[in-house]
Chain A
Amino acid sequence: MSKVLLLVGTKKGAFLVESNDGRRSWTIKGPFCETWPIQHMIADPAERTIYAAGGNAWFGPAVWKTTDLGETWTHSSAGLAYEEGEEPVANAWSLAVGPDGLYAGVEPAGLFKSCDGGETWRHVAGLRAHPSRTQWQPGGGGLILHHIVTRGDDAAQLWVGISSAGVFHSADGGATWEPRNRGTRADYMPEDQRYPEVGQCVHSLVMAPGGSDRLYQQNHCGMYRSDDGGRVWTSIEDGLPSTFGFPAAAHPRDPDTLFLLPLNGDINGRYMPDAKAAVWRTRDAGATWSALRDGLPQQNAYFGVLRQALSTDRLEPAGVYFGTGGGALFASADEGESWSCLAEHLPAISSVETLVID
């Protein structure tokens, strides 16, 4: 029987929420990481290691680590710093495992890599050396690098999402980068400047399974798919209740299936459309969408779900999970068809990821 762990990053620490592959009953452990605000947690399944990225108002940024499923934790930020005189790293915002190391995205936006399991870090300086950096502007959450996409079969390829600078791609392991925002809108710019090279406010960036170059992007201004690694983006927002939302989650096996949580709009409160909660799913790469509501609150749902707070597991059928800004955690064990609430009173949830242990 498999063990399923939800890795839940919150404003007041990390939590591990555990079940078996039936995914009916869950136990909650935490808060870990000395109740530091944790922006993102991931697992390296090969090493059975869980990492948690965050920052504390007093003690600064760090990446926490447990190799015994939460029993004991260590923390490090050795090397997780810019050069003297630069604006210091305030927070660690995102994590990703690549084929040759661990990546961390930070605020102000930049990328770091660890080749020793998070003990020490080095700056992937090529990204901040990009000539567009002077144009990068902080979004509502700050100037944050909140998504990192790696390819298991190609260590040289990296994508990052920065608010609000957009998507950048490296084909050489981070030495050089190019913006990949063509086709994504910046509605907050003057009418004749809405498709700039950089400056788009990406909210979520995920890669479809299957080894193709398909990416999906939830943006502040629309929902997009790219079939060529982000060189060109196509709008797939028709059929959605809003062009605005934060997270997106790919299916573990089907590249045409994607899950979203559109909110009612960027200046309308950023909660569930009509205050009725729904996860939206496409089975055809964004051509059509359906709302999945069974078991989700259908009145007074004035909550939002942030960039990294929607995830799937790799079981069959896939589990889907999301956590709200109000501290509620919802789960589906049937690809979104039905939902249950696992927790109602956690701290504000920043991120949800999964780990399945066979």
Chain B
Amino acid sequence: MEREQHIEVRPPSAGGNTEEYWLNMGPQHPATHGVLHLIVRLDGETVREVKPELGYIHRSVEKMAENLTLLQNIHLTDRLDYLSCHMNNHAVCMVAEQACDIGVPERAEYIRVIVSELQRIQSHLLWWGAFAMDIGALSAFLYGFAEREKITDIFERLCGARLTMNYFRPGGVAQDLYDGFEQDARQACSDILYALDEYQRLVTGNLIFQERTRGVGILSRDKAIGYGCSGGTARASGLDYDVRRDDPYGIYDRFSFDVPVATAGDCYARYEVRMEEMRQSVQIIEQALKDLPVGPIQAKAKPVLKIPKGLQVFRQVETARGSFAMTAIGDGTATPLRVSYRSPGFMHVAALHEMSAGFKIADLITILGSLDPVIPDIDR
């Protein structure tokens, strides 16, 4: 192979006598959180352009969804954002409930909120560890996983699975809580609060960490809206929007919780917002556990759920990453005519160039980590 084919030569940049070059980051790369493929134009260490290249793990999920019933679709959404599978399931269930007019028992609604919020914490813990690892603090990754494990164990006892839980059903949840769940959940919550204080001392207060994240990867509020960002990423840019509060679903309107908002829009702001979200989730869980009623966990529903012909149903939820929405159009049969998902990560990766152009290559990794991408969610 000729050397010239190996290194693509570009015209020199305006800045000086340097050559720009293209670098393929991924699909196999330790910092792309799975198999994201970034094509990066670099000038030395400085990033000039980032092009996310999707399609490496495209699975035609939306097309598959058209050939499956709504019930079968639930487990398919586990495989989108696998760290928010309860929330994804919730969106599908709400679509089915609205289309077929199914009511959800009180207890099931509370269980949904509790496991959703537990999973939000679980997802953020994994993000915290991975983000710290992207910056080079390797031990933090294991610390995050150690705490996450406690919640994963609860889920394993609850529904038998540790990652793709498939727990929600239209009209309720699959099984009732096991004996001792409430105690386990309370214990996990107090452990998380303790761990968060520890993380504060270990990573947040670290001078190197602050140097690496403050002022890096700034996304303005207008750009955040323009790119369709949501969740922690948008809230860190000053966009005060949370689906749980502003478009309440389930019984989220019964709980009091804060929506943390920062205005800086940099990696540190995104970090702070997500750390605070964990504390707020703990608050929601504690309120829900206090009010948890007894009763049925599953409403009576027809065995085959059909979306009426021509009916279009749109429901959105707040996952750990942002707003996840499902739109389904029915044709009167057991399978929907058209299903469309709106995943938060897709929009965030689109904004990656906006945030990282002009920063160093190490910052690109920091910025990508701060967006908390889950690749199967971006590339369906």
Q: Do A and B bind each other?
A: no
